[in-house]
Amino acid sequence: MYITTRRAFIAATTAIAAFAKSDLALAQTSDPQPATNSRTTPPEPPVGPSGPFVQPPLPFGEGDLMPFIGQRTVALHYRRHHASYYNNLNIITKGRKYAEMKLEQIITEGFKDEDKSFFNNAGQAWNHDRYWESLKPGGSKVPGGRLAQLIYDNFGSLGEMKTKMVNASAGVFGSGWTWLVQDGARLSILNTSGGDGPLTSGKTALFGIDVWEHAYYLDYENRRPEHVKAILDNLINWDVVASRLEV
Confidence grade of residue 33 (pLDDT, cut at 50, 70, 90): very low
Which CATH number among 3.55.40.20, 2.60.40.10, 3.30.1330.40, 3.40.50.150 corresponds to the domain 145-243? 3.55.40.20
Per-residue pLDDT tens digits for 138-166 = 988 899 999 999 999 999 999 999 999 99
Per-residue pLDDT tens digits for 102-116 = 999 999 999 999 999
Of 81, 121, 79, the closest CA to residue 98 belongs to: 121
Burial label for 138, CB within 10 Å (0-12, 13-18, 19+), is exposed
Q: Hey, which of 9-18, 38-47, 223-232 has the most confident mean pLDDT?
A: 223-232
Domain coordinates of the chain in residue numbers?
71-133, 145-243
For the chain, what is the radius of gyration of the CA atoms? Answer: 24
Query: Angle between the 117-133 and 83-92 helix axes, to the nearest 10 degrees?
Result: 150
71-133: CATH topology is: Helix Hairpins (1.10.287)
pLDDT at residue number 128: 98
What is the amino acid identity at position 162?
K
Residues 6 or more apart from 187 whose CB is under 8 A from it? 150, 151, 153, 154, 155, 161, 180, 181, 206
The one-character DSSP state at 82 is: I
Of 117, 108, 236, 112, the closest CA to residue 166 belongs to: 236
Question: pTM (2 decimals)?
Answer: 0.81
Are 156 and 187 a contacting pair, CB within 8 Å?
Answer: no
Residues 6 or more apart from 40 whose CB is under 8 A from it? 71, 72
